[in-house]
Every structure is written in structure tokens, then in C-alpha cells.
Structure 1
Amino acid sequence: MYSWIWRHLPGPLVARLGGALLLFAAVAALLLFVVFPWLEPHLPISQVTVPSH
């Protein structure tokens, strides 16, 4: 999959690296700001911290 993405990015090496970093940042932002907040209420975990006794 990564080689397919790399082959389809246009331009020389520097442009491909920049495009790959931009693509990675876009996917990470989409996951952090859209997918994970939507998914959180559906997870069975209600407490995210360990209680101290």
C-alpha cells in the first residue's frame, strides 16, 4: 500500500517527501479530531484513569 502511494505521488523526491508528510498529517488530524471523538462514546471503557487507594 505504501509503495502504491509513493508511486502515485507527483514530482521529484523532495516534492514526494513533502506530499507524503502532508498526507500523513492529514490522516492523523482526521483520526484525532473526527474519528476518535466520534468513536469514544461507543467504547466500553468508562474510566480512563486508575483510582488511587
Structure 2
Amino acid sequence: MYPWIWRHLPGPVAAKAVQAVLLAAAVVAVLLFAVFPAVEPLLPFNEVTTR
């Protein structure tokens, strides 16, 4: 997967590295701000019991 992404990014190596970092940051941002909040109500972690 990573070689495929690297081959399809345009520009020289430095530009590809910057684009790869920005792409990874965008994926993390989407996960943190959209995906995780959407699935959080479905997770059973709020039903914690101790004895």
C-alpha cells in the first residue's frame, strides 16, 4: 500500500515526503474528529462496573 501511495505522489523526494506527512495528518484528523466520535456511542466502555 505504501509503495503505491509513494509512486502516485507527484514531485521529487522532498515534495513526496511533505505530501506523505500531510496525508497521514489528514487521515489522523478525520479519524479523531469524524470517525471516532461517530462510533463512540456504540462502544460499551461507558458501562463499567467495579465490585
CA deviation profile, 1:2-48 (whole Å, cap 9, x unmatched):
11000100000010001000100000000000000001000011157
CA RMSD of aligned residues (A): 1.5
If the length of structure 2 is used for normalisation, what is the TM-score?
A: 0.88
* Structure 1: runs of 5 or more not aligned: none
**Could you say which structure has the higher helix fraction?**
2
Which position in structure 2 is the counterpart of 1:38? 38
* Structure 2: runs of 5 or more not aligned: none
Identity %: 61
Cα distance in 2 for residues equivalent to 1:27 and 1:17? 15
